[in-house]
Chains A and B, each alone.
Chain A
């Protein structure tokens, strides 16, 4: 009997395999399918809840691994975006610095590009650390600028890094002038307002108006430390003096709380 069944199977295989498309066996198969399809549809509907239940369990199992995979992909994408953003900002900052150098003819002042590697720890700390030091030709009291203007002077120099005292530090003092009226004064921090500067010792403070651009005067600073080249942007007048002894408030051009690409002017003639 077994042999008979095997032989029948082999005959069926041979006939079915040899026949192409429209033989009698295919007709039988098609007819069978026509009969079976409605039954299969009903059975499928009846079994759908069971199928859905098992699929749901399977989905939950897969969801866990898919979630982990997606988290990994998201983290990788975020790292990629951060790298692209950093590259974009670096490129923008470099272009701005280059533009500032060419506009103000700073090439003779020996600009050395650097990056801020440690920001000010808080709004009350007015120094940052940059990744250029004595090895790059940086000296103490060298002026430091960023694409928007003056940010400070080099206070301490190490071999590969330097500490920059920002212009809003109490020890800082930059001789400045009103770019429009040529009124001269000294820029220093505004007490109690770490994000702002004030301009003092102005002979005719009433001449300084809100919105005036304040730039470096190209003179020696009050501490006798260094020269800033002339006409480097410092900030914009935010509050004019209403009386002869009043305070002129200046909003710094550079965002001193978030510095990245800077330039040290290493060849400025010293005092």
Chain B
């Protein structure tokens, strides 16, 4: 099986399992009246690991899956998560952050973008309820909660996808040094 098909397969399984876990378990766990939201974390992690285009496709698919599962206006989650996945991939492509807190910041940012984007789309679509302090509070609590689980979610997604991903040149280089190979600068 080619690498790209392997990646697509793993992303599909990841999307399916994520949505199932989200709607069957995680969404029902409420802390301070707000539930955890796996979707932006998984989409951001997948986009960050696989790139902008794959991230956008994965986000679109997972969002569409959620739209169907929640029986709501089709395309809303698809649009939001498509943009989240793309943005996460672009962050990796443009800046390649390697700080230890990157997954946490990525998860928090993805949750914030997804929450705000969804709220904006709902307002555009004509939801009549006013934007209240309660909504702002819920969004902030949601971001905080998702930040708590961002690192483990990123770790799980990474473990699932890494075998199918083409080897990262930096990782390959690092492994070469640690296994006794010489740095190009050390070679005579």
Chain A positions within 8 Å of B, measured between CB atoms, are 1-2, 5-6, 8-17, 25, 28-30, 32-33, 36, 39-40, 43-44, 46-47, 50-51, 54-55, 58
Residue B60 lies at the interface, judged by CB distance under 8 Å to chain A: yes
Docked Cα-Cα span, A16 to B121, in Å, equals 14
| Given known contacts A2-B86, A33-B68, A10 and B75 CB-to-CB distance under 8 angstroms | yes
What residues on A are CB-neighbors of B57 within 8 Å?
1, 5
Which of these, A11, A32, A36, A58, contacts B75 with CB under 8 Å? A11
Give chain A's interface secondary structure class: helix
Residue B94 lies at the interface, judged by CB distance under 8 Å to chain A: no
Docked Cα-Cα span, A12 to B76, in Å, equals 8
Which of these, A16, A43, A44, A58, contacts B74 with CB under 8 Å? A16
- Minimum distance in angstroms from B79 CB to a CB of chain A: 4
Jot down 29 A-B pairs with beta carbons below 8 A, ordered by A.
A5-B78, A6-B79, A6-B82, A6-B83, A9-B63, A9-B82, A10-B79, A12-B74, A12-B78, A13-B74, A13-B79, A13-B125, A17-B73, A28-B68, A29-B67, A29-B71, A32-B69, A33-B71, A36-B68, A40-B23, A40-B24, A40-B69, A43-B20, A43-B24, A44-B25, A50-B25, A51-B29, A55-B29, A58-B30
Q: Is the CB of A32 within 8 A of B68?
A: yes
Docked Cα-Cα span, A33 to B65, in Å, equals 10
Docked Cα-Cα span, A2 to B47, in Å, equals 13
Residue B1 lies at the interface, judged by CB distance under 8 Å to chain A: no
Size of chain B's interface in residues, with CB distance under 8 A? 31
Docked Cα-Cα span, A5 to B75, in Å, equals 10
Instruction: Give the nearest-CB partner of B64 in chain A.
Output: A12
- Minimum distance in angstroms from A196 CB to a CB of chain B: 65
Instruction: Give the nearest-CB partner of A53 in chain B.
Output: B29
Residue B151 lies at the interface, judged by CB distance under 8 Å to chain A: no
Docked Cα-Cα span, A15 to B67, in Å, equals 13
Docked Cα-Cα span, A58 to B28, in Å, equals 12
Which of these, B30, B52, B53, B75, contacts A13 with CB under 8 Å? B75
Residue B56 lies at the interface, judged by CB distance under 8 Å to chain A: yes
| Given known contacts A1-B53, A50-B25, A16 and B75 CB-to-CB distance under 8 angstroms | yes
